[in-house]
Chains A and B, each alone.
Chain A
Amino acid sequence: MSPMARMHRRAGWLALVLLGASLVLLGVGAAVGATGLADLRALGQDPTAWPIVRDIRLPRSLGAWLAGALLGLAGAVAQGLFRNPLADPFLLGSASGASLGVALALALFGISPQAASWLATLGLTGAAFAGAMGAVLLTLALARGVQHTLRLLLAGVIVGVVLGALGSLITLMVPETLPAMQAFMLGSTGFVGWPACVPMAVAFVLCLLAAWIVSPVLDGLSLGEATARSLGLPLGPLRLALVAVMALATGAAVAQTGLIAFVGLAAPHLVRSVVKTTHGRLVGLSALAGGVLLLGADLLARALIAPQELPVGVLTAVLGGGYLLWLMHRGRGGRVA
């Protein structure tokens, strides 16, 4: 066995464990509801039990896994692209852009009954996605491209702050939008159905494939900009492709589930704490870890105060914040993970 094969065997084991955990959690998510396993037991007798499992719990669980996987993937790409272990997929202003998109949609159309039905059909997803993509494009325009990482990060922070303030201003001016905005800001998988799973699944396959294809540039960049360039890597176009992957993955997840913090940040760290590997593998493993994290958090959010539910975004923020604090404590005198 070559050294390379031996080194990557551990990554293969981790992938299997994460896949197994994903399947188990999906099964639990589909089986368990507010009434425990009652619907599952009644599958044979109660004609409403199967539709509940098929049309509500299964797409919700799959949707939570897909959103987590998209955020985990985006996190791994962001941390590799910006060579910063604290980089988050919500960089480049995508989260604030999505919030602004939702605030605008609610303020412009959400108050009238006709608009409400249209919005209910679309679930505000188009607005959030357009806002996220618009914010990323604005960041790229301000940073004059993707060549300079620091300029890109600064532009992302500025766009995030300004768009976030605009979103808050709209909410203040149209107070009727406040409850809906609050739900979006808290993040929830409660309304994810099959129509939401389809765009997330398509985006996930596209982003995973694209990130894997472009992953050698992330390995090269980890040695520094000049070294990566000296290896003949066409940094400009490949960096642009990675930014597009990050924006699409983040936008697709945020559009369906609202703002869910820390999954994109924590998933790559979790993977790196178990296995050190190339970005090609890290991206896939982070997606699996993100899916497990968010689906696990969603199950917890459903179970902790059942039959009521916690917004999953609140739970990931609390758990993710605790995890970061633990990392800081553990990493005192060293790097974070």
Chain B
Amino acid sequence: MSVPALRATGVHAALGGVEILRGLDLSLPAGRWTSVVGPNGAGKSTLLKVLGGLLPYTGAVHLLGTPLPNLSGRQRARQLAWLGQSEGSAEDLSAWDVVMLGRLPHQTWLAAPSAADHGAVEQALRTTQAWDWRERPLGQLSGGERQRVLLARALAVQAPVLLMDEPLANLDPPHQADWLQMVRAQIAAGRTVVSVLHEISLALQADELVILSQGQVAWQGACADATTHRALEQVFQHRITIHPLAGHWVALPK
């Protein structure tokens, strides 16, 4: 059996003194796309930050078989890329400079970017169709354009594991479709993608679904399984129903 991309055992985490994750156990398979869903306040973003080593926790978290505390910051950053919800604005940095920040874990401190760095940045900007405004400061971009640059920044890390918290924020439907295509390309390249999505119909396009409730995993299973759909309806107190539509699953409010 292959080593899971991420494994959490008995994880507790708190925000502002309030316990958010309560003894959570989770194992996320490598080379798959897993979506994390759950009601507001279930602990989805907190879980992602804990898995990324960005928040203090108790318990154990393993990244590709290695306990997180055993990895240096740079080692962890090379193996795990993280895209958070709109945190900073970086208004004055150009799109190119922002995406180049994704190469920091690979660069020697103060060394000029290598040809490989330039190549990775260009590839990431082209993948997210942000190449045309690479010279424009982030402050001059729309919300959707900015989100594509930030996504390119995460892709430029070229890490085997990619964590994304609400990556579709501000993206219009065509660019949401592009994002789905990009995720599938990452999976085809052998990478692992973990995303937190509040849009359940989009989350159901993943390979695996993790349903969080009150800081614990209420269910984990394949998105296509009927049992997963029933678990989803139950966690959302039967206020949604899952229906098949054109080869996909959609969640509709009751």
Q: Name A residues whose Cβ lies closer than 8 Å to a Cβ of B.
A: 2-4, 6-7, 83, 213, 216, 219-227, 229-234, 272, 276-278, 282, 335
Contact = CB atoms under 8 A, between A and B. Distances in A.
21 contacts: A3-B135, A4-B118, A7-B135, A216-B109, A219-B90, A219-B101, A220-B101, A220-B104, A222-B93, A223-B90, A223-B101, A224-B84, A226-B52, A229-B54, A229-B73, A230-B82, A231-B102, A232-B72, A232-B76, A232-B78, A232-B105
Contact of B89 (A7, A213, A222): A222
Contacts of A282: 92
B106 to A, nearest CB: 10
Interface string B83-107: 1100111111110111011101100
B110 A234 contact: no
B52 A276 contact: no
A277 B92 contact: yes
Contacts of A229: 53-54, 73
B134 interface: yes
A62 to B, nearest CB: 29
Contacts of A225: 87-88
Given A232-B73, A232-B74, A234-B73, A226 B92 contact: no
Nearest to B75: A232
Q: For chain A, what secondary structure do more than half of its interface residues adopt (helix, strand, loop), or is it mixed? A: helix
A266 to B, nearest CB: 16
A282 B90 CA distance: 13
B77 interface: yes
Contact of A276 (B72, B74, B92): B92
Given A224-B84, A232-B73, A232-B76, 14 more contacts: A4-B97, A219-B93, A219-B101, A221-B88, A222-B93, A223-B153, A226-B84, A227-B87, A231-B102, A231-B104, A232-B77, A233-B73, A276-B137, A278-B93
Report which residue of A4, A6, A216 has the largest number of chain B beta carbons within 10 angstroms of its beta carbon: A4
Contacts of A278: 93, 97
Nearest to A277: B92
Contacts of A3: 96, 134-135
